[in-house]
Amino acid sequence: MIRHRTWGFYLTYVGFFGAVITAILAFFWAPAVDPESWRSPEAYRILFWHVPFAWASFLAFCLLFIGAILWYVNRSEDGWKMVVSGSELGLLFGLGVVISGPIWGAAEWGVPWDWSDLRLNTYALLTAVALFLVLAIRSQPDGEGNRDTIAALGLFGFALVPITAMATTWFQNRHPGTVIIDSDETGLDPQIKSLLLAGAFAFMLLFIGLALISFEIQRLREELDSRLHFMDEGGVL
């Protein structure tokens, strides 16, 4: 368990440092974009955090999905820990997306949010599901019934992930499409692509580190509850 904690802190520090370096390179190394194709060309630099935030949030909901399945099939405590961690990290990285996105939208579109855009609205719903899950986990008594309900809502949230990811392919509106894939339409600069991938790797390390720390916190909380229950029963530590 100490090894998990050590690796958790180590990966979190490395991931956070990589995210900071990504932001610095985004402002001082990433090339400028065609000013005729963008209303606010310099604002695009926030996308080097916005996109990795989104990818990391999808990883969190994948963790939530796996945990929910393990909980339903085997009543696995490890599965439940994954549900809790996936919900918390989905909310954390989801908030990063819904904060950074409107900043860019306000500069590029003139409005922070477009309620007619499918990807924006499905992602907002996804983040709202994560918020509800975190609030439910922290406010409701722990028990199989509540865990079943929370896991079911987690599965619903995960169902929104492919819809959100493919929304701009199915219904292109304002939100840009998947530009990480080279094509004649995207014409993605190699420097931009390299920095996006580097940022994604840093955020992935950050996600793994925070997940390990979350698992360790849950284990320590369970140990503390067990000892308190033992003392309430008249035992002596």
Q: Which long-range contacts (CB under 8 A, 24 or more apart) does 187-192 make?
A: 189/31, 189/33, 191/29, 191/30, 191/31, 192/30, 192/31
Q: Are 42 and 34 in contact (CB under 8 A)?
A: no
Q: How far apart are CA 5 and CA 8, in angstroms?
A: 5
Q: Taking the model in full, what pTM does it have?
A: 0.87
User: 2-214 maps to which CATH number?
Assistant: 1.20.120
- Domain residue limits, the chain: 2-214
pLDDT one digit per residue (tens) for the chain, 237 residues: 556 678 899 999 999 999 999 999 999 998 887 777 777 878 889 999 999 999 999 999 999 999 999 999 999 999 999 999 999 999 999 999 999 989 988 888 888 888 877 778 888 999 999 999 999 999 998 889 999 999 999 998 888 888 887 765 566 555 665 555 444 455 567 888 899 999 999 999 999 999 999 999 998 888 877 777 667 666 555
3-state secondary structure of 181: coil
Instruction: Compute CA 53 distance to the chain's CA centroid, rounded to the nearest angstrom.
Output: 6
